Structure formats: C-alpha cells, structure tokens
Amino acid sequence: MKDLSEFIGTEKICETVVTTDRTASAMRSGGVETLATPWMIAFMEYTAAECVKPFLDEGYVTVGTHVDVAHLASTPVGMKVACRAVLAAVEGRKLTFSVEARDQADKIGEGVHERFIVNYEKFHRKALEKAVAAGIN
C-alpha cells in the first residue's frame, strides 16, 4: 500500500444541483424542501474519496470512518452546490480531509472527514463473513 503523505494539500471539487430527492423531506431528515444534511454529508464523503482515488494502489479503496460537519445554510431545489475536499493529513492508512460545501450564494457546510485506505477484496470478504455469521445470505 502506497503512502499518500506526498499528496497532502491535494484538493478536489465536485458539483451538483439540488433535486427534490435530495431534500430533507424526501430523505425524512426534516420537513423542508431544501438540501438535506445527510445528503450534503454524503456528497462531502464522495468528494473526499474522489480526491485520493487516483493515487491509490490497484485493489484499494477508501471508506468513511468519521464525520464532523456543520450545516450552516439552507439550499433550495434547483441551486448548484460545489463541494471541496482537501487532503489535510495522512497517518498510515488514516486520511483526514477538510471539507466545505457552497451553493451559489453562501457557504452551506464545513468540517472534517476521516477515511481509511482498505483492500477492497479483504474488506468485502469480512463483510460477507459477517452476513453469513448473522444468518443473512
């Protein structure tokens, strides 16, 4: 597994548009027709994963392990959202990102997100073993 320390400072920006299926009422996280906090967080996680994806060895992926995010402002349906993730620290397999989301008017979210580098096959095998042990086929 490659050490990603040389890539500290690398950033990725991903953009999307708020649609009705991404609202708090659609996700059952609130009764409003604006971007849901869980969806914003998922988009931050996606952006962080994409930030380091090109640098991972074949067969390796990252998985989210911690999120500490504030949702600062609402974003209505139809408005664009851009998320920025910056690789801030590397401690072995642990990657720490600074994340921020903005709509066309305001900063709407910010925080820290941690991910771990894992071997996909090994990770998937453990999950399948867990399912079998629980009686789930």
**CATH code given to domain 5-133:** 3.10.129.10
Statement: the pTM of the whole predicted model exceeds 0.85: yes
Domain boundaries, the chain: 5-133
Q: How far apart are CA 113 and CA 83, in angstroms?
A: 13
Is residue 137 over pLDDT 80? no
Render pLDDT for 65-115 as a digit per residue (tens, 0 to 9). Answer: 999 999 999 999 999 999 999 999 999 999 999 999 999 999 999 999 999
Find, among 109, 103, 91, the residue nearest to 4 by Cα: 91
